Amino acid sequence: MITLYTWTTPNGRKIPIALEEMGLPYEVKPVNLGNNEQFSPDFLKISPNNKIPAIVDHGAAGGPLTIFESGAILLYLAERSGMLLPTSPAGRAKAMEWLFWQTGGLGPMLGQLFYYATRAPEKFPFVIGRFQDEAIRLLNVLEKRLSEANYLAGDEYSIADIASYPWVSVGLGMVRGVAGEALPQTPSIDRWVTAVGARPAVQRGMEVPKV
Ligand SMILES: N[C@@H](CCC(=O)N[C@@H](CS)C(=O)NCC(=O)O)C(=O)O
């Protein structure tokens, strides 16, 4: 049994999608970020960076294993289940490339754009412009990749797609709302969002946690 600590955010939805795809049994512990539950001493023992998602694998060899950082969790679950990670060295390298691209680039940039464009009490045009330009650049990189390959790692759907899907399915509309026509059309991303979003496991994972 795996315990999943998560909330209703794009990073939070990556792991239930993976667990649903892999058919691994799990229980959900919602961590209400609005109530600052991520700072509770019990949660910090599992996720010392005070962020969701995090898991505890109670069935790990050597005893219960805590893991934080969505990329580390996705990689652990893929290796544990033998699913959703290409087995060839080249395929695996491509999956890692796009997984790290999401956790180090797309997620943080869309997150900052969302905060400064829609949440921040004061609006700083140069800050919004900086994150908007970077979000558009990253989405153009994604569009090019998906015009050349069906999925991020190549022919196979993988944990790299799972990392990007919750961000892109929500973030594309947000970036269009902020940037308007500065973001060109994205037919390949649209095709990929439709294909990934049609997977029953993805639909179930996007509903977790139910609050
Ligand atoms: N690099 C981390 C980012 C996780 C993250 O930013 N989580 C946000 C929600 S989407 C969070 O827990 N924020 C609470 C806080 O910063 O206090 C990952 O990929 O797991």
* pLDDT tens, N- to C-terminus, the chain (211 residues): 999 999 999 999 999 999 999 999 999 999 999 999 999 999 999 999 999 999 999 999 999 999 999 999 999 999 999 999 999 999 999 999 999 999 999 999 999 999 999 999 999 999 999 999 999 999 999 999 999 999 999 999 999 999 999 999 999 999 999 999 999 999 999 999 999 999 999 999 999 999 9
pLDDT at 113: 97
pLDDT at 72: 98
Query: In angstroms, what is the span from residue 53 Cα to ligand 1's centroid?
Result: 7
Atom of ligand 1 nearest to the CA of 53: 20
pLDDT at 175: 96
Can you tell me the distance from the alpha carbon of 128 to that of 148, in angstroms, rounded to the nearest whole number? 30
User: What does DSSP say about strands 65-68 and 26-30: parallel, antiparallel, or unpaired?
Assistant: unpaired
Place of tokens 């905060």: 115
To the question of pTM greater than 0.95 for the whole model, the response is yes
User: In 96-123, which positions are buried (b, 16+ CB within 10 angstroms) versus exposed (e)?
Assistant: bebbebbbebbbebbbbbbebbeeeeee
Task: Ligand 1: list residues with CB < 6 Å.
Answer: 9, 11-12, 33, 38, 50-53, 69-71, 103
Helix (H) / strand (E) element for 68: namely strand 65-68
Both tokens of 38, joined, read: 């991520």
pLDDT at 156: 96
Give the C-alpha distances (Å, rounded to integers) separating 174 from 37, 177, 183. Answer: 26, 5, 11
Peptide bond into 16 cis (omega under 30): no
pLDDT at 100: 98
